[in-house]
Structure formats: C-alpha cells, structure tokens
Amino acid sequence: MPLAESLAPLFGRWVIAWFFLDQAYRHALGWNTTAVLLTMKNIPAPQIVLALALAGAVLGCLSLLLGLWTRAGAFLLFVVTIGLAVTLHDFWHLKAEVARNADYDIFARDIAIAGGLLVLIGTGSGRFGMDHARPRGHYGRRSGRR
C-alpha cells in the first residue's frame, strides 16, 4: 500500500478529532451560554445533556487521535453530531430566510462531518492506528473477510 494511502486515514482522524476537540473546548468555556442555548431549544436537563455531549466528544476524539477503538469512537461522534444537528439546527422551523439559510449551512456541515465519520466506521483506523497494531480478540475478528 502506498504511503499516501496509509497516511490519509491518520491525518483524516486527526483533523476530525481537532475539529471536535476545538468545538468541545469552546462549548465548555461558554458553558452557561451553551446551556442557555439548549434551554431555548427546549432540551430537557440542558446541563446534563451538555456534559454528556462534551464527554462523548472528548472520548470519541481520544479514540480517533490514538486510532484505538476507532469505529466505536467514530460512532459515538456520529451519534452526538446527528443528535445535535437535528436538535439545534432545525432550520425547517425558522421563518426568516437569512436565519434559515445560516442554520441550514451549519446543519449541512454537520451532516457532511457525519458522513466522514461513517467512512471511519466502515474503514477503521488505518495502518497507523492502535487498532491495527493490537491482536485481534473476540470483537476484533474479521470473520474470514479480507
């Protein structure tokens, strides 16, 4: 396998992890503002939802950075991304065109990121991930597929 094909999943994982870590950091810094936003969107127990979303983002990012349990980490980020996109960026409810278009752009970005996460779920960590290096146990078997 050419080096570029081996490095692409590594750098792709790192870029996605960077994006989510940056967002988690910003939302954690603006905890109260983010909690108010969740309250405005009628999210029950906004502080708990925020804590769970941030924990999911951080755990998913660690998984991607290390390439360890990459599929599980990508799935966790996928669930958080889709859940927040549908809940927070419900552009279809907005009447003002400018606000609707702006929210649609964020929604579309989140869906595109979710698509990238689906690719990671399907392909795994790649050659330069800890998933690749660890011995295959019960859950890591390839069940005869290559």
Question: What residue segments make up the domains of the chain, in order of their start?
Answer: 3-130
126 and 10 in contact (C-beta within 8 Å)? yes
Is residue 146 over pLDDT 50? no
Other Cβ atoms less than 10 A from the Cβ of 51: the count is 14
* Residue 55: pLDDT over 90: yes
pLDDT in tens, 5-50: 889 999 999 999 999 999 999 999 999 999 999 999 999 999 999 9
Share of the chain above pLDDT 90, in %: 75
How much of the chain, in percent, has pLDDT values that exceed 70?
A: 90
pLDDT for res 53: 95
Tokens of 102: 């702006």
Per-chain mean pLDDT for the chain: 89
Exposed, middle or buried, 67 (CB in 10 Å: 0-12/13-18/19+)? Answer: buried
Q: Decide which of 109 and 137 is more confident.
A: 109
What pLDDT is recorded for position 134? 63
